[in-house]
C-alpha cells in the first residue's frame, strides 16, 4: 500500500541553531523510495533508536524528568535508590495521501497539473520542465506564464512553488500548474519537499515526471542513459489505476509493474489522469522512559517502577541478571498483571495505562539478590526500543551496602557514551576559534566546527545551569539574604530592561497608509504612556521596497511611508518625554539591492552601505551571493545578508550605533532572527548596548494530525536556543505561549496551559525573563491575519500574559479598541503588585475549562468558563477585575 515512502530525516538548514545538527556536517540527505530499499509495509521497519546524543538532550529531558518521576508512588520516594530517565526516539509514521492530477482546465483549452498532499507540513513543489528536442537531461525553467503565483526560481533550471490550502477546511495542500499543451514542453518534472523537515520526496530515487507528449521519440532508454539512471525517470504514468491497483500488491511487484509500464509507454496523446498514493512521513518523536527502583521496607523486596509516555500498547520485554555479564534470566513470580513468559527467556508485560496523563507503566517486584534489571520495549511486532542497540539496564544492587554505587554505575553508562562523543569533539576542537574577529581567515568549515564546539559548551552549560538553578529554588529566601553575595538592586540588561517593562507595539500593518504615522503616534504618546506602557516598538524606519518597511534598501535613508527622519526624531523625543523607551524595528536578515550584477541578478547594494554580492549568502540561488552559507533560514524574497562577513558586521554595528545616537532609539525589535546565528545578534547588541531588545524567532509549533501537541518543548527549546546563542542579550517573542493559548482558548482545552512540570508551557515557563509574551502583532493579526488570535478571546489572552511573568507586549489594535479599559486595568494590577518578568507563577488549576494561577502570591487569576475561586486561607483575596471568562484577584 505504501507506494511512496518517505524518510523524513531531520535535515536541518539552521545548522548552527540546533545541537542536533552539529554532528550532521554532511549535506542534507534526501531519501527516497528507491527500489533497493525494502519498502516498509505498514510499520514494517524499525527506525527506533536510542538517541545517541543523549547528553545534549538532557536539558530537555530533565525539564520533564521530575514530573515523570514525581508520579511514582510518591509516598515512599525516600526509598528510591535509583532513578533514571531514558529519552528515547521513535519514528512515528503519519500517513496521508498525495495525488497528481492532470486535467483540462475549465476553458477546455489549457491543461492543468495539480499536485496535492494531505499531510501537514510546509510543502514545496520543486519543479521544472523539459522541452521537446532537449538533448540533455537537465530541467529547464518553465515559461513565466506557467509559474503559479508565489513561485521562486531556483537557479536557472527549477521553480519552487509552495503548496497551499485553498481554504481552511481543505485537507490537501495543493498547487496547480496551468499550461498549454501545444507548447514545446515535453514533460513536467518535480519532486516534493517538506520544508519543515527538509526531506525530499521523490519517486524511487528520481523525480516524478509527467510526460505531456508522445514518448516515442524520446524513449526510455535514451533518457535514462543520459541521466545516468538505469531506468527512465518518468515514473508516473497517465493511468491512474496502475498504481492504485498495485497498491494492494506487494511493493516489489508494484515496482515491476511501473517499470514494465515504462517500457510499454506508447501513448501519443495527452490524456488526463488522476493518481493518488499513500504517503508516509516519518516524524521522529521523543519520549521518555523513566525507571525508579526502591526497596520496600516491609517486604525487603526491590520494586522497579517503569513508566513511559509512549502512546499505545507498550510491552516490556524483561528479565533480570546475576552479574555484569547481563545474561537474561527469568525471576521468580509474582509478576505484574498481563505478563507472559516468552520462550523461557524473558517475560513480557503489557504496561498498564496510568490514571493520570497519557502514560503507562508497571511495577515489578523482585527479590533482593538480583544484580540488575534488563529490558527492552516492544511497540509492535517490528518495533523495538533499545538502549543504544543494547538492552536497557537498571542496577538493582546498591540498596544499602555501597552508597556510591548508584553514582558510579550511572557514570559507566553515561560516561561511555559521552566519552566517545567528547572524543569526537576533541578531535575537532583543536581549531576552537578564539573570537569572531580572528575568524575571517579561517575556512568556513573550521568555523562551523568551532562554532559548534562553542555551542556545545553553551549547551552543556545551559544544562548544568538548568539543573543547578532548579535545585536552588528550594533554598529559602532568608538563607540567601544572609550570605555574602548581595544581589545588585535593579540591574538593567538588554534582555530584560528593568524587568518591569510592558511593551506596546505602536503600529499595525496599515500604519504606513496615512504617510504621517509618526505624527499621529506622537499625539498619542502621553495617552499610551498613561496606560502603563514603558516601552514602545515603532515600525521599521528605513527606506523599503514594501511600504510596511520590512524590505529595507538604504539603511541610512530613514524617510519612509511612516514619515520623515525629522518626524521620527520628533516622535522619539516626545516618547522619551513621557518616559517611554523606544524600540526600533531593525531588519538585519535581508536587504534589497539597488543594482543588478552582470547576470542581471539584484545583489549589488547602493547608498552609504554599498556592499557587493559578498554581503549576500551563497546558499540562496536567487541572489547569487558570494558570501558564506547562511547561518540560519533563508528569507526568499530578498537577498539575505551574510553576517559572517566582518565588513557587514562592522557596518551594521555602526548603523545601529548611528540609530541609537541620531534617532535616540533605546533598543531593538529584531526582525526574522531565524535567518542568522544568534551569536551575531549578541555581537550587535554588545556593540549597540540597547536598553531592551527582543527578537522575532517565529517558526511553527508541533502538530500531530493537525492537532497541536500538548508538549511544545521542542518549539520553545528552539527559541530558548536562540536566546542562548545571543547570550541572553536579547529576549524573544514567546510564540509558543501564543500558540498554546490559541488551542487552549479556541478548543476549550485549558489543561494545555500547564506543562509536565506544572509550569507555563511556553518560553515563559523556561526562561521567563527573556520571554516577551504577546497575543497578536502586525503579521498574525491586523489586516494580514496570518495567525489570528481566537476572536472574542483576546482579553483572556491578555489576562494571562499581563498577570504572568515574562515581558508582556500589547498590540496597537487592541489598545485602541473596546478592549482598552480592560487592558489598562490589567496593566495597573500588574504594576500595583510589582509583577515582573521573573515573578513566580504557581499554577493551581489547568483543567478542561479553566486555568488558574497565583503569581508571586499576590495576584490570582483564572481564565476559561470553568469555576475557580482563590483559597480562603491566610491570604485575603479580593476581586480586582472581571471580564468575559476571566477574573483577577489581588491580596488585600
Q: Is 468 in the site for another protein (CB under 8 A)?
A: yes
Rounded least distance, CB 103 to another protein, Å: 57
| Binding string, residues 494-533; x marks residues near another protein by CB under 8 A | -x--------------------------------------
Is 696 annotated in the active site? yes
Query: 290 or 833: whose CB is closer to another protein?
Result: 290
Give Rg (Cα) of the chain.
Answer: 30
Binding range to another protein, per CB under 8 A, among 383-391, 420-428, 661-669, 798-806: 420-428
Q: Is 341 in the site for another protein (CB under 8 A)?
A: no
Q: What are phi and psi of 828, to 5 degrees?
A: -70, -30
Beta strands in 143-196 (DSSP E): 152-154, 158-162, 164-165, 173-179, 185-194
Among 62, 365, 702, 704, binds another protein (CB under 8 A): 62
Please give the Cα distance from 759 to 757 (Å, whole number): 5
Hunting for cell 487552549 — which residue is that? 744
Closest CA to 879 of 837, 829, 834: 829
Among 462, 641, 652, 673, binds another protein (CB under 8 A): 462
Q: Beta strand 392-395 with 383-385: parallel, antiparallel or unpaired?
A: unpaired
- Output the 3-class SS for 13-68: CCCCCCHHHHHCCCCCCCCCCCCCCCCCCCCCCCCCEECCCHHHHHHHHHHHHHHH
Query: 170 or 324: whose CB is closer to another protein?
Result: 324
Please give the Cα distance from 732 to 726 (Å, whole number): 10
Query: 468 or 892: whose CB is closer to another protein?
Result: 468
Binding range to another protein, per CB under 8 A, among 169-177, 373-381, 431-439, 586-594: 431-439
Among 114, 267, 383, 431, binds another protein (CB under 8 A): 431
Q: Is 374 in the site for another protein (CB under 8 A)?
A: no
Binding range to another protein, per CB under 8 A, among 14-22, 69-77, 404-412, 569-577: 404-412
Please give the Cα distance from 360 to 407 (Å, whole number): 27
Rounded least distance, CB 419 to another protein, Å: 6
Q: Is 436 in the site for another protein (CB under 8 A)?
A: no
Cell of 297: 521496607
Other CB atoms within 10 A of residue 851 CB: 30
Question: CB–CB of 851/737 below 8 Å?
Answer: no
List, as own/partner pairs, every contact residues 573-576 make where C-beta atoms lie below 8 angstroms and the sequence separation is at least 24, other chains included: 573/664, 574/522, 574/525, 575/522, 575/525, 575/529, 575/536, 576/664
Binding range to another protein, per CB under 8 A, among 133-141, 272-280, 376-384, 464-472: 464-472
| Binding string, residues 614-653; x marks residues near another protein by CB under 8 A | ----------------------------------------
Other CB atoms within 10 A of residue 601 CB: 18
Q: Is 476 in the site for another protein (CB under 8 A)?
A: no
Q: Which of 32, 84, 671, 890 is an active site residue?
A: 671
Q: Is 420 in the site for another protein (CB under 8 A)?
A: no
Please give the Cα distance from 383 to 838 (Å, whole number): 44
Among 107, 298, 478, 484, binds another protein (CB under 8 A): 484
Question: CB–CB of 123/173 below 8 Å?
Answer: yes
Number of residues in contact with another protein, rule: CB under 8 A?
A: 60
Hunting for cell 526531506 — which residue is that? 199
Among 170, 369, 415, 882, binds another protein (CB under 8 A): 415
Query: 259 or 428: whose CB is closer to another protein?
Result: 428
Q: Is 441 in the site for another protein (CB under 8 A)?
A: yes
Cell of 274: 488522476
Among 134, 218, 307, 463, binds another protein (CB under 8 A): 463
Q: Is 269 in the site for another protein (CB under 8 A)?
A: no
| Binding string, residues 668-707; x marks residues near another protein by CB under 8 A | --------------x-------------------------
Rounded least distance, CB 73 to another protein, Å: 21
Among 219, 259, 410, 520, binds another protein (CB under 8 A): 410
Binding range to another protein, per CB under 8 A, among 296-304, 451-459, 548-556, 743-751: 451-459
Q: Is 406 in the site for another protein (CB under 8 A)?
A: yes
Rounded least distance, CB 503 to another protein, Å: 21
Q: Is 404 in the site for another protein (CB under 8 A)?
A: yes
Among 265, 399, 417, 418, binds another protein (CB under 8 A): 418
Angle at 733 between CA 730 and CA 738, to 5 degrees: 160
- H or E stretch covering 596: strand 595-596
Query: 406 or 518: whose CB is closer to another protein?
Result: 406
Rounded least distance, CB 856 to another protein, Å: 21
Closest CA to 399 of 144, 170, 80, 741: 80
Q: Which of 7, 620, 633, 696 is an active site residue?
A: 696
Binding range to another protein, per CB under 8 A, among 71-79, 359-367, 721-729, 793-801: 721-729
Q: Is 419 in the site for another protein (CB under 8 A)?
A: yes
Chain-centroid distance of CA 652 in Å reads: 28
| Alpha-carbon separation of residue 890 from 687, 773, 829, 880 (angstroms) | 42, 21, 8, 6
Q: What are phi and psi of 843, to 5 degrees?
A: -80, 120
- H or E stretch covering 348: strand 346-350
Cell of 493: 540588561
Please give the Cα distance from 295 to 300 (Å, whole number): 6
Q: Is 464 in the site for another protein (CB under 8 A)?
A: yes
Q: Beta strand 360-366 with 352-353: parallel, antiparallel or unpaired?
A: antiparallel
Among 264, 324, 345, 465, binds another protein (CB under 8 A): 465
Among 10, 436, 467, 687, binds another protein (CB under 8 A): 467
For the chain, what is the largest distance between any 2 Cα atoms, rounded to a whole number of angstroms?
90
User: In the chain, how many H helices and how many E strands?
Assistant: 17, 39
Q: Is 425 in the site for another protein (CB under 8 A)?
A: yes
Query: 248 or 489: whose CB is closer to another protein?
Result: 489
Rounded least distance, CB 438 to another protein, Å: 5
The set of residues, in sequence order, having a beta carbon less than 8 Å from that of 662 and lying 6+ positions away, is: 569
Q: What is the DSSP string of 396-452?
A: ---SSS-TTHHHHHHHHHHHHHHHHHHHHHHHHHTT----GGGGGGS-HHHHHHHHH
Q: Is 766 in the site for another protein (CB under 8 A)?
A: no
Q: Is 486 in the site for another protein (CB under 8 A)?
A: yes
Q: What are phi and psi of 855, to 5 degrees?
A: -110, 125
Q: What is the DSSP string of 207-238?
A: -EEEE-S--GGG-HHHHHHHHT-SS-S----S
Q: Is 780 in the site for another protein (CB under 8 A)?
A: no
Query: 623 or 767: whose CB is closer to another protein?
Result: 767
Q: Is 454 in the site for another protein (CB under 8 A)?
A: yes
Residues engaged in binding another protein (CB under 8 A):
55, 58, 62, 402-404, 406-408, 410-411, 414-415, 418-419, 422-423, 425-432, 434-435, 438, 441-443, 453-454, 456-458, 460-465, 467-469, 471-472, 479, 482-486, 493, 495, 682, 723-724, 727-728
What are the catalytic residues? 671, 696
Amino acid at each position: 500500500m505504501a507506494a511512496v515512502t518517505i524518510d523524513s530525516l531531520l535535515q536541518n538548514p539552521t545548522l548552527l541553531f540546533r545541537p542536533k545538527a552539529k554532528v550532521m556536517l554532511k549535506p542534507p540527505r534526501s531519501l527516497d523510495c528507491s527500489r533497493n530499499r525494502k519498502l516498509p509495509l505498514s510499520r514494517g521497519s524499525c527506525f527506533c533508536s536510542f538517541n545517541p546524543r543523549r547528553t545534549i538532550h538532557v536539558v530537555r529531558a530533565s525539564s520533564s524528568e521530575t514530573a515523570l518521576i514525581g508520579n511514582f508512588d510518591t509516598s515512599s520516594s525516600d526509598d528510591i535508590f535509583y532513578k533514571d530517565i531514558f529519552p528515547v526516539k521513535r519514528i512515528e509514521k503519519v500517513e496521508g495521501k498525495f495525488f497528481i492530477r492532470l486535467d483540462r482546465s475549465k476553458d477546455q483549452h489549457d491543461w492543468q497539473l495539480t499536485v496535492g498532499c494531505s499531510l501537514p507540513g510546509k510543502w514545496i513543489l520543486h519543479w521544472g520542465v523539459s522541452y521537446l528536442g532537449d538533448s540533455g537531461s537537465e530541467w529547464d525553467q518553465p515559461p513565466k506564464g506557467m509559474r503559479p503565483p508565489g513561485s521562486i526560481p531556483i537557479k536557472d533550471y527549477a521553480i519552487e512553488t509552495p503548496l497551499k490550502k485553498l481554504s481552511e477546511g481543505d485537507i490537501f495542500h495543493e498547487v496547480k500548474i496551468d499550461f498549454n499543451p501545444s507548447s514545446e514542453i515535453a514533460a513536467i518534472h518535480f519532486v516534493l519537499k517538506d520544508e519543515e523537515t527538509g526531506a525530499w520526496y521523490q519517486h524511487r530515487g528520481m523525480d516524478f515526471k509527467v510526460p505531456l507528449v508522445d514518448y516515442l521519440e524520446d524513449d526510455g532508454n535514451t533518457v535514462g542513459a543520459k541521466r545516468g539512471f538505469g531506468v527512465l525517470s518518468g515514473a508516473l504514468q497517465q493511468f491512474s489505476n496502475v498504481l492504485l491497483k498495485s497498491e494492494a500488491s506487494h511493493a516489489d511487484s508494484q515496482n515491476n509493474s511501473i517499470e514494465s509500464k515504462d517500457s510499454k509507454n506508447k501513448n501519443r496523446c495527452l490524456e488526463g489522469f488522476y493518481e493518488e498514493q499513500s504517503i508516509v512521513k516519518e516524524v521522529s518523536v521523543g519520549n521518555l522512559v523513566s525507571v525508579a527502583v526502591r526497596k520496600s521496607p516491609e517486604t525487603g523486596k526491590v520494586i522497579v517502577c517503569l513508566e513511559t509516555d509512549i502512546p499505545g500498547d507498550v510491552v516490556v520485554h524483561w528479565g533480570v541478571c546475576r552479574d555484569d555479564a547481563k545474561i537474561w534470566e527469568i525471576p521468580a513470580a509474582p509478576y505484574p498483571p498481563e505478563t507472559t513468559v516468552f520462550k523461557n527467556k524473558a517475560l513480557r508485560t503489557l504496561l498498564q495505562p496510568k490514571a493520570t496523563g497519557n502514560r503507562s507503566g508497571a511495577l515489578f517486584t523482585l527479590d533482593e539478590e538480583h544484580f540488575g534489571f534488563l529490558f527492552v520495549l516492544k511497540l509492535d511486532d517490528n518495533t523495538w526500543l533499545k538502549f543504544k542497540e543494547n538492552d536497557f539496564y537498571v542496577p538493582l544492587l546498591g540498596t544499602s551496602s555501597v552508597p556510591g554505587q548508584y553514582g558510579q554505575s550511572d557514570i559507566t553508562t553515561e560516561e561511555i557514551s559521552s566519552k566517545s562523543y567528547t572524543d569526537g569533539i576533541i578531535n575537532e576542537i583543536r581549531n576552537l576559534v578564539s573570537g569572531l574577529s580572528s575568524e575571517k581567515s579561517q575556512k568556513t568549515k573550521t568555523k562551523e566546527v568551532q562554532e559548534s564546539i562553542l555551542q556545545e559548551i553553551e549547551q552543556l552549560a545551559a544544562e548544568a545551569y538548568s539543573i543547578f538553578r532548579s535545585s536552588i529554588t528550594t533554598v529559602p529566601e532568608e538563607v540567601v539574604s544572609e550570605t555574602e553575595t548581595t544581589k545588585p538592586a535593579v540591574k538593567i540588561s538588554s534582555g530584560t530592561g528593568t524587568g518591569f517593562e510592558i511593551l506596546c507595539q505602536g503600529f499595525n500593518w496599515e500604519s504606513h497608509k496615512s504617510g504621517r504615522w509618526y505624527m499621529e503616534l506622537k499625539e498619542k504618546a502621553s495617552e499610551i504612556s498613561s496606560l502603563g506602557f514603558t516601552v514602545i516598538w515603532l515600525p521599521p524606519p528605513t527606506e523599503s521596497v514594501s511600504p510596511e518597511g520590512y524590505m529595507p534598501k538604504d539603511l541610512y535613508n530613514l524617510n519612509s511611508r511612516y514619515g520623515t527622519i525629522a518626524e521620527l526624531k520628533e516622535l522619539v523625543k516626545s516618547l522619551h518625554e513621557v518616559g517611554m523607551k523606544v524600540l526600533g524595528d531593525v531588519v538585519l536578515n535581508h536587504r534589497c539591492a539597488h543594482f543588478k550584477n552582470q547576470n542581471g541578478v539584484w545583489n549589488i547594494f547602493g547608498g552609504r552601505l554599498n556592499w557587493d554580492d559578498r554581503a549576500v549568502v551563497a546558499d540562496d540561488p536567487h541572489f547569487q551571493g558570494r558570501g558564506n552559507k547562511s547561518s540560519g533560514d533563508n528569507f526568499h524574497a530578498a537577498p539575505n545578508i551574510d553576517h559572517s562577513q566582518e565588513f557587514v558586521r562592522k557596518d551594521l554595528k555602526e548603523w545601529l550605533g548611528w540609530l541609537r545616537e541620531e534617532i535616540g532609539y533605546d533598543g531593538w525589535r529584531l526582525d526574522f532572527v531565524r535567518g542568522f546565528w544568534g551569536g551575531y545578534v549578541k555581537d550587535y547588541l554588545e556593540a549597540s548596548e540597547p536598553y531592551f531588545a527582543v527578537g522575532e524567532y517565529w517558526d511553527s509549533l508541533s502538530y500531530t494530525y493537525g492537532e497541536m501537541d500538548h508538549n511544545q518543548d521542542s518549539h520553545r527549546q528552539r527559541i530558548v536556543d536562540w536566546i542562548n546563542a545571543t547570550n541572553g542579550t536579547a529576549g524573544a517573542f514567546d510564540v509558543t505561549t501564543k500558540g498554546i493559548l490559541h488551542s487552549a482558548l479556541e478548543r476549550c482545552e485549558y489543561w494545555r496551559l500547564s506543562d509536565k512540570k506544572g509550569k507555563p508551557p511556553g518560553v515563559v515557563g523556561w526562561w521567563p525573563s527573556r520571554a516577551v509574551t504577546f497575543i497578536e502583532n502586525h503579521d498574525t493579526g491586523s489586516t494580514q491575519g496570518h495567525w489570528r488570535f481566537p476572536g472574542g478571546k483576546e482579553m483572556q489572552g491578555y489576562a494571562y500574559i499581563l498577570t504572568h511573568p515574562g515581558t508582556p507586549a500589547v498590540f496597537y489594535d487592541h489598545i485602541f479598541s473596546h478592549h482598552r479599559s480592560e487592558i489598562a486595568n490589567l496593566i495597573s494590577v500588574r504594576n500595583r503588585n510589582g509583577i515582573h518578568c521573573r515573578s513566580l507563577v504557581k499554577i493551581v488549576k489547568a483543567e478542561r475549562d479553566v486555568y488558574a494561577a497565583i503569581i508571586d502570591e499576590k495576584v490570582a487569576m483564572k481564565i476559561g468558563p470553568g469555576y475557580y475561586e482563590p483559597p480562603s486561607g491566610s491570604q485575603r483575596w479580593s476581586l480586582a477585575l472581571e471580564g468575559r471568562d476571566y477574573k483577577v484577584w489581588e491580596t488585600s
